[in-house]
Amino acid sequence: MIKYNKILLKLSLIVSLLVACGLTGETKIRLESSAQEIKDEINKIKANAKKEGVKFEAFTNTQTGSKVSKKPEFILKAKIQAIQVAEKFVKAIKEEAEKLKKSGSSGAFSAMYDLMLDVSKPLEEIGIQKMTGTVKEAAQKTPPTTAQGILAIAK
């Protein structure tokens, strides 16, 4: 009997550690699917843009539109599409951070920050400048391990 109690205690500790380490359940599913939606949308946009003759390798840190593209109107549309999908993700992050404000762990908020960084890279690839830098800069001002920090970064 004591052996089983020890095993149950160990299992409950492991589960507690897993829960404390990051996002769980509905929150994880919602945010990860939203992040994946952005990546998928950007891949579609990039594929369409390449068909239209856009050369993403010509993009620079300061030129990501009409100066390096034969079809600047297409680039503008592509950026608007990407921003619209990204806004859904940011809204989801804000809602989940609000829900977890009282009961969330620093691991959960860190996981949200990691997702925000993960999503910022494909946005830069499509020509939305300085996304990763903006997220990192905001994280330096407010800690990404709290609800307030995540909400400030998501602004």
Please give the pLDDT value at position 13.
45
Cβ-proximal residues to 112 (8 Å cutoff; 6+ apart), any chain: 23, 31, 93, 96, 97, 144, 150
Classify burial at 8, counting beta carbons within 10 Å of its beta carbon; exposed 0-12, middle 13-18, buried 19 or more.
exposed
Q: Is residue 37 within 8 Å of 81, Cβ to Cβ?
A: no
pLDDT in tens, 65-114: 666 667 777 778 888 888 888 888 888 888 888 887 777 777 788 888 88
133: which 2 tokens?
Answer: 């830098």
Domains, the chain, with CATH or none: 22-154 (1.20.1420.40)
SS3 (DSSP) at 7? helix
- 29-40 pLDDT, tens digit each: 777 888 888 888
Q: Considering only residues 10 and 34, tell me which one the structure prediction assigns the higher pLDDT.
A: 34
Its pTM stands at 0.72
